[in-house]
Amino acid sequence: MAANDELIGFVREALSRGVARDEVASALARSGWSPARVRAALAGFSDVAFPVPVPRPRPSLDARDAFLYLVLFTTLYLSAWHFGSLVFQLIDWAFPDPAMAATDAAAAFRSSLARFSVASLVTAAPVFFFLSSITGREVRQDPTKRGSKVRRWLTYLTLFVGATVLIGDFTALVYHVLGGELTVRFVLKVATIAAIAGGAFGYYLLDLRADEREDGRDAGADRQGRLTRGRLFAVVAAVAATGAVAASLAIIGSPAEARVELLDLRRVQDLTRTSTSIDLYWTREGHLPASLADLPSAPRPLTDPDTGAPYAYRVIDAGTYELCATFARASADTSPRPTRRFWTHEAGRQCFTIEPQRIER
């Protein structure tokens, strides 16, 4: 906690007159000054034998410090957000909504949201740990850096965000308890938010308190405690992030599997566009095209994105046709539906019998 100019001036004057530090602290305490402010004022002067008080070095803000701390706290927020997002999706996958089929829940987990959260966490978390190591080492080497205004402002901002999230989190919990709407999914998500926000809040609150306590007498103990807390926080955070990423990758699948899924999605889109073009032709001409080459608005290419083989088209009768494609694997939901948009299919060659629909212009 910073001391104001009036207090610093009094301490300087008292020390210059040879008054002992304990007597100065006792007089200030009797006058109502808080112990933290008194310690901060006394710590501003070195305890060395010299005719006049010798000031300690004060922290100075430079562009490098601002850059390091801004990136440090930005990656902290990104890591916390995407870690929470991954855990939420893991909870949804493990405890699917009764209104959603299990296959739909699995497909939702494999969505771009899960991949984006994994990518963000894998990128941001190592940067946060690396910068935490750098800034921690620099603070230990030069304790005056603890007084960096950027560091303090961002730390207090983190405390504010953490406190706000915790208050909202427990408010939501109490609200659902009173309404009798608790579910396993909800309780686990509330616990996740509390763990993330509470962990960050507790760590940085203890860090600030260590700054306020640290003076010439207990600096060694505070530095050791700060180092131990930092290592424990880093280990717990790293293990949690690694576990969330590993569990997510086990469900999402490898990049090769993602490629297969993407190719199947492309086949679905190709068949959908082709079917729409056939509908348009049938609406205009009154009959089905003899081949896909007859479609003036046929999507290009009309071939499989992986093998290059053309999609199969066959006229069954005047009001029915067939489109075929070969899929790498079955869709998440293979139950039959009254749809012709090809979203549900088995693995291998699949043929869809379709009745054309009139397109109103």
The 10s digit of each residue's pLDDT in 39-88 is 878 877 888 777 888 887 665 556 788 888 899 999 999 999 999 988 98
Q: Which of 115-129, 166-180, 204-218, 330-344 has the highest mean pLDDT?
A: 115-129
Tokens at 223, concatenated: 């530095």
Measure the CA–CA gap between 349 and 326, rounded to whole angstroms.
4
Distances (CA, A) of 317 to 169, 236, 295: 61, 66, 18
**Structure confidence at residue 205 (pLDDT):** 85
pLDDT score of 220 more than 70:
no
pLDDT score for 217: 45
Helix axis angle for 149-179 and 184-213, nearest 10°, is 150
Name the residue among 134, 141, 128 with its Cα closest to residue 223: 141
Which ranges constitute the DSSP H helices of 95-111?
Answer: 102-109
Nearest to 225 by CA among 240, 237, 211, 235: 211
Question: Can you read off the two tokens belonging to residue 225?
Answer: 């405690």
